[in-house]
Each structure stands twice: as C-alpha cells, then as structure tokens.
Amino acid sequence: MSTILGLFKKLFLGVNTQYLVKSYLISIAVTGFFLYMNFEDQHSSSALLTVYFLLAGFLFPFAAVLWDDLINTLMGGYAIILALPLMVIWKLIKIMLLYLFSPLIAPIGMIYIYFANGYHKE
C-alpha cells in the first residue's frame, strides 16, 4: 500500500504545482456542474454516474498534462491566434472532452509523467 502512495506522491510532485492547482480548480467546477445536473432530477440520478464524475474529476489534471505536452510537441513553440469567442468555445470543448474521457486518457498521462521525470530510473 505504501508503494502505491509513494507512486501517487511522485506523480503529483512531477507536475508543476500551479498547473496542478489550476487543473483541479477547473475539475472541481466541471465536476460540480455535472453532479448538479445529475442530482437536479431526483428520479434519475445515478450512483454510477456520480462515481464516474468524481473519478474523472480526480484524473482530469493528468489527462490535461498529456494533452498540453502533446500539443506543445506538435506545435513546436508556435501559437495560433484566434478571435476571443472562438478561443473560449475551443477551450470549453477541450475541457469537456478531456474531462469526459479522462478515465481513459489519464493513465497514459500518468505513465508519461512517470517516464518524463525519470522515476523509472530510481
């Protein structure tokens, strides 16, 4: 059990603290929105959906790390300048897709952080 906690500690230390806090704040807001929508209708709220949203909220920063590093690698330091409304719409779509698919994407992000920070050499 302590090795799993040590691994999670390394993963959290392998990500910039400001980036992690920003990602978790976004994740809390999106999780709150989805949980509110889930519980708004008392008759159809699902425990499975609640667990999925909480899991996605916990894993979102790791999916975001993978996405941002992949885009930085592909773009090579270049930036695309868009009008503000288009940029906001794109950011919202990106956040929603990363959030909804974070249980699938985040394990790859965790492996990426593990190898990128050289923890496999220890």
Residue 77 has pLDDT above 60, yes or no: yes
What is the reported pLDDT for 3? 73
Where b means 16+ CB within 10 Å and e means fewer, 5-25 reads eeeeeebeebbeeeebeebbe
Check whether 66 has a pLDDT greater than 80: yes
pLDDT, mean of residues 27-49: 86
Give how far the C-alpha of residue 105 lies from the chain's centroid of Cα atoms, to the nearest Å: 8
pTM value is 0.84
Taking the C-alpha atoms of residue 22 and residue 74, their distance in angstroms, rounded to an integer, is 23
pLDDT confidence bin for 110, thresholds 50/70/90: confident
